[in-house]
Structure 1
Amino acid sequence: MKTILITGAGSGLGAELAKRWAKEGHRMVLVGRTKEKLTSICHHIEKENATCLSYQCDITNPDDLAHLTKKLKEDDLSIDLLVNNAGIGTFGSLEEMTISDIHHVIDTNVKGTIFTTQAFLPILKERKGRIMNIISTAGLKGKKHESVYVASKYAVRGFTESLWKELEGTGVSATAVYMGGMNTPFWSHSNHISDPTRLKSALEKAKQIIEEDKGQKEIFIDR
């Protein structure tokens, strides 16, 4: 049994990954901003006789993350797999993007991933654990009306590839997950995708990721 921590676990892909890994017998640690959502997912997992704990945390805030790692130590929890799943997207032409939109995307997708990884690296080194970064195919090629989102995902791609080199000899590994879009509330505030229902569900994506995951450096889903 592994202990798996997932950020952005209150809904969408994060929640579905948690449910599926829990069914395989792993202990789940859910992290997100909304306590009620996390509690709901944990209750669902616990009904399946699996172990689930949840912690409210803003991953863009290093102080929050420091408090989280301290709380995990107090609860005698070590992490075997850190899944940096939390992410947001704001779409449209660059001229239409507000400064606030840009900061929000970069703060969550880039800084949040870096801050979380930095906070948990000492714990992961103790366990010779692994980092899984959910990047999306936006980290592989440019896309119209996704300039800031794509920039954020390219940043996480570069961060992950640099970790491969930096973590050599530490026992900690990192996996980049590149996947196409999915049908979640991610698109609810955008007309960027005309028909999100044509996309696979978060449940289907979670199943694919877990089935494809063999501990390799890169996983490609629906490129």
Structure 2
Amino acid sequence: MIGSLQNLMEPIEDLDVLVTGAGRGLGRGVACFLGQVGARVWIVSEIESELEMTAAIIRKKGGWVKTRVADLSSESQRSELAKEIKSGSDRLVAIINNAAVLERQSLQDIQVDSWEETLKVNLTAPVFLARDLISELLEKGGSIINVSSQAGVLGFADQSAYCASKFGIEAFTRCLALELVGSRVSVNSVTPGLKIKPTSITDKDISILDPKVSQAWADPISLGPAFHLLARLRGGVSGCRFNALTLAKYIAEYGSELTVRELHTVAEYVVPGEENG
């Protein structure tokens, strides 16, 4: 097949994938899906009970999982996480930067500490985890997937810090993709495209919510095929933004044996000049 993605991909079965913010929501869904398809999943969250719940789901399905409780706003804890992965993984092939915090505040109410916390978790952590682990990916190829949001494309009232961090993620994704042109490392961003549990809602919060509210949220594991495909990329398609729901539906209809052009067609954003690649 001309321009086939298969020439730019490899299986991730029995290979290592890092998923941050995997204690709940999208991160849990993606981690569980990747565990089901055979990846060795390293999951990170600040809340141990939520992290163990994700791990239990993966293990119940026969998957391999390694947990790490970490505050990604902490430079020292990020550094320790990177060291543990380097020493303990057989081969890291994908980093999924999903962890995020969201605190709604107007400009008049916003505080320095909450602003800095949001930027550290949502933007600084992805940048420096990529820096600390990029050597693992460059050696044999890999993929970096930065979870973005419509907040990284549009602006929303009372979400200045969150939107700034997600706009930053979009910029970082494109800059790093340009830095790595010619390598076997893909760097792309993904927006969920599905009504899932909001970033700021914990499992504890859900227990006291009106069931009608939580029942309206879709199961994020349905987006797993999109992340699975992108995690298998080894260069060639990079600097793009994908809507996970759109991509997952496309895969369900046409399969994952796409051409580069077809994948670019599905993308929300493609680096100028690459649209017909």
TM-score band by shorter chain is: 0.7 to 0.9
In structure 2, the residue matched to 1:167 is 180
In structure 2, the residue matched to 1:176 is 189
Query: Does the C-alpha gap of structure 1 residues 92 and 74 become closer, same or farther in structure 2, counting only changes over 3 Å?
Result: closer
In structure 1, the residue matched to 2:34 is 21
Query: Does the C-alpha gap of structure 1 residues 76 and 221 become closer, same or farther in structure 2, counting only changes over 3 Å?
Result: closer
In structure 2, the residue matched to 1:107 is 120
Answer 1 or 2: higher relative contact order, Cα 8 Å, separation at least 6: 2
CA contact (8 A) 2:26 2:221 kept: no
Check if 1:206 corresponds to 2:223. Answer: yes
Mean Cα deviation higher: 198-207 or 168-177: 198-207
Q: Which runs of 5+ in 2 are unaligned?
A: 1-12, 206-211, 246-267, 269-277
Mean Cα deviation higher: 177-186 or 86-95: 177-186
1:67-99 per-residue CA deviation (whole Å, 9 max, x = no partner) reads: 223222332432101000000111132112222
Q: Which runs of 5+ in 1 are unaligned?
A: none
Q: Output aligned runs, 1:121-136, within 5 Å.
A: 121-136=134-149
- The alpha carbon displacement at 1:127 in A equals 2.9
**Counterpart selection for 1:38 from 51, 69, 85:** 51
Check if 1:72 corresponds to 2:96. Answer: no
In structure 1, the residue matched to 2:271 is none
Check if 1:142 corresponds to 2:155. Answer: yes
Query: Does the C-alpha gap of structure 1 residues 104 and 3 become closer, same or farther in structure 2, counting only changes over 3 Å?
Result: same
In structure 2, the residue matched to 1:218 is 241
- The alpha carbon displacement at 1:219 in A equals 0.8
Check if 1:86 corresponds to 2:99. Answer: yes
Q: How many residues align?
A: 219
Query: TM-score normalized by structure 1?
Result: 0.86
In structure 2, the residue matched to 1:49 is 62
Check if 1:58 corresponds to 2:71. Answer: yes
CA contact (8 A) 2:196 2:217 kept: yes
CA contact (8 A) 1:132 1:174 kept: yes
2:136 and 2:54 map into 1 onto residues whose CA distance is 25
Mean Cα deviation higher: 129-138 or 102-111: 102-111
Query: TM-score normalized by structure 2?
Result: 0.70
- The alpha carbon displacement at 1:110 in A equals 1.1
Report the AA paired with residue 243 of structure 2: F
**Counterpart selection for 1:157 from 170, 173, 188:** 170
- The alpha carbon displacement at 1:45 in A equals 0.8
Query: Does the C-alpha gap of structure 1 residues 184 and 84 become closer, same or farther in structure 2, counting only changes over 3 Å?
Result: same
- The alpha carbon displacement at 1:140 in A equals 0.8
SS in 1 for 2:139: helix
CA RMSD for the aligned pairs? 2.6
- Structure with greater Cα Rg: 2
1:86 and 1:174 map into 2 onto residues whose CA distance is 17
1:88-135 per-residue CA deviation (whole Å, 9 max, x = no partner) reads: 111132112222221111111111111211111111112311100001
Query: Does the C-alpha gap of structure 1 residues 134 and 185 become closer, same or farther in structure 2, counting only changes over 3 Å?
Result: closer
1:73 and 1:200 map into 2 onto residues whose CA distance is 36
2:72 and 2:168 map into 1 onto residues whose CA distance is 17
